[in-house]
Amino acid sequence: MPSLTFYGAAQEVTGSCHLLESAGEYQFLLECGMHQGGDDIRRIKSEKFKFNPRTLDAVILSHAHLDHSGLLPRLVRQGFSGPIFCTAATADLLAILLRDSYGLYRRDLEHENLRRVRRGKKPIEEVYDEHDVDQVLALCEPAEYGQGLQLNSSVFLTFHDAGHILGSSIVELKLEDYGKTKTLVFSGDLGNSDSVLMRPPANLAEADVVLMEGTYGNRNHRSMDATIEQLSQVLADTWARHGNVMIPSFAVGRTQEILFYLGRLHREGKLDNWRVYLDSPMAIEVTGVYNEWLALLDEADVGELRETDRESFQRFLPSLTLSQSSEDSMAINKVSSGAIIIAGSGMCTGGRIRHHIKHRIWQERNTMIFIGYQAQGTLGRIIVDGASHIKLYKDEYAVKARIETLGGFSAHAGQSQLLAWYKSFGNSPRLVLVHGELEALQALAGKFDTECGVSALIPELGEAITF
C-alpha cells in the first residue's frame, strides 16, 4: 500500500519535500526544497533528511524554484545517485538556479569563516560543493508535458503544465497496487490563470489522492487590470517626487512578467522617461532561457513579443538596461531619479536588491514595490509588515520610502482558482493541503468543506498517510 510522508512545506510555504513509498517496491522523493529566510549558512547546515538518500529510487521535481529543488546538491552529497525526473525547461533553469545558489552560499561561507578565524574559532565546513551541483544536473532526465514515463513495473509518471513558471508541472503518478491502479496527483505550484506569459494550469479528470498547494488559500488576487493601473499610478507619483523605484523580484517567472508589463506600458506611452535596470545576472540568464522556450508560453502573449520584430523581452522594452557586472550595479547608485531597479532576491534575503535598499529606503521620494510572496522571517516580509526601521549589513535604516504591494502579481493561484482546479476532478478525490501557512490552509480547507463537501487534511511535519 502506497504511503506519503510530509517532510517539508507542511503548514509552511518553503522546503517542499514529500516521500512516496511502498514497502519493498519503491521510494520516490517528490521535491527536495530548501527552506528560505534567516541565516543561510546555518539554515542549510541544519537541514537534515529524515530518510536515507541512498535508498531513494528517484526524485520527481515539479519545477526549478529553490524551495522545491535547493537541497538536491546536499541529497547527492549524502549518497543519492538515482534519476531526477523533470521537464526539459526545468532542467535548463535548474542549472542556473543551483549554480547561483551555490555561488552565494560559498561567498557567504568564506566571509563567515574569515570572521571566525579572526576570532580564533573553527571554520564551518561546506555541506555541499560545486561538484555536487554538477552531479545533480547530470542526473536530470528531462521529459515533455504529456510524455508518459514508466519509472518501474508499478509506477507511471506524467507531467502536465502547472502554469506557474517556465517548465512547471503538475505531477500525475499512477501506482499499481495489488492489481489496482491508484492515482496520485501532486499540483506542484499552481499558476495564476490571470497572469501573462504562462498558460493556465492543466485540468485533470480523476485521482484517488490530490496533494495540493495552498499558498494563497485564504484570499484571491486583485485583478490584473486593477494591478497594472495601480502600478501606473505608483510610477506617476514616484516620478512626481523625483524618486526611484525598487522592485525585489524572483529571477524566474516574476522578472519576465514585470518586464512584459513594463513593455506594454512603454508601447502605450505610459512609461514616461523611466529607465529600467535589470540588475541581476541570474535573472538576465533566466530571461534568455525564456526566450529559447517561447513555444511553451501563452501564444497570445508571445504574439505581442513577436510584433515589430521584438521576439525577446529585451527588445520589447527598449528602455531596459542589463546590469551584469558589479560595476554596472554600483553605477545605478549614481542615478538620482527616474530609475526602475529590478533585482533579486525576491524576498530580499540576498542579492543586489539589498544594496539598493541600503542606498534608497531611507529617502521619502523613493518607492519599493513588492510583486511576490514574502515568507515569514525574510527582510521582505519585515518591510511589508510595516517595520519603521530595518537592520542591513549590521547598520540600521529608517524605512521612509513608500512601500507598495501589487496584489495581482502572483505566480500562484488564488483561493477561487484553487477551488476551480480541484473541481475539475470528477470524482471528488481525497485532498491533502500543503505549501501554505496554517491560516491560509485552514481557510482553504473551510472553503472545500462548504463548497465541495470535502474534508481536507492539513498534515503536520513528519505525518504520513496511506492510500
CB 452 within 8 A of CB 422: yes
Residue 339: name the closest of 273, 280, 386 by CA: 273
**What is the model's pLDDT at position 303?**
86
3-state helix, strand, coil in the chain (%, to 5): 35, 20, 40
**What is the model's pLDDT at position 372?**
84
**What is the model's pLDDT at position 370?**
95
- Radius of gyration of the chain from Cα atoms? 22
Query: Which CATH number among 3.40.1670.10, 3.60.130.10, 3.60.15.10, 3.50.50.60 corresponds to the domain 3-219+413-466?
Result: 3.60.15.10
In the chain, what are the domain boundaries?
Answer: 3-219+413-466, 224-405
φ, ψ (nearest 5 deg) of residue 86: -160, 175
**What is the model's pLDDT at position 42?**
78
CATH 3.40.50.150 describes domain 224-405: no
H helices of 119-196, where? 130-139
- Identify residue 137 by its one-letter amino acid code: L
Question: C-alpha cell of 150?
Answer: 514508466
The pTM of the whole model exceeds 0.85: yes
Residue 33: name the closest of 125, 120, 97, 123 by CA: 97
**What is the model's pLDDT at position 38?**
65
Alpha-carbon torsion 194, 199, 201, 202, what sign? positive
Distance of alpha carbon 315 from alpha carbon 311, whole angstroms: 7
**What is the model's pLDDT at position 396?**
96
DSSP 332-380: HTT--SSEEEEES-TTSSSSTHHHHHHHHTT-TT-EEEE-S---TTSHH
Distance of alpha carbon 347 from alpha carbon 84, whole angstroms: 27
Query: How does strand 155-161 pair with strand 169-177?
Result: antiparallel
> pLDDT tens track of the chain, all 467 residues?
999 999 999 999 989 999 999 988 999 999 999 987 667 787 787 888 999 999 999 999 999 999 999 999 999 999 999 999 999 999 999 999 999 999 989 988 999 999 999 999 999 999 999 999 999 999 999 999 999 999 999 999 999 999 999 999 999 999 998 889 999 999 999 999 988 999 999 999 999 999 999 999 999 998 999 999 999 999 999 999 999 999 999 899 999 999 999 999 998 998 989 999 999 999 999 999 998 998 999 999 888 877 645 557 777 898 999 999 999 999 999 999 999 999 999 999 888 999 999 999 999 999 999 998 888 889 999 999 999 999 998 899 999 999 999 988 888 999 999 999 999 999 999 999 999 999 999 999 999 999 999 999 999 999 999 99
DSSP 72-113: HHHHHHTT--S-EEEEHHHHHHHHHHHHHHHHHHHHHHHHHH
DSSP code at position 48: -
The contacts found for 333-336 with CB under 8 angstroms, 24 or more apart, are 333/359, 335/244, 335/275, 336/242, 336/244
**What is the model's pLDDT at position 117?**
93
**What is the model's pLDDT at position 141?**
98
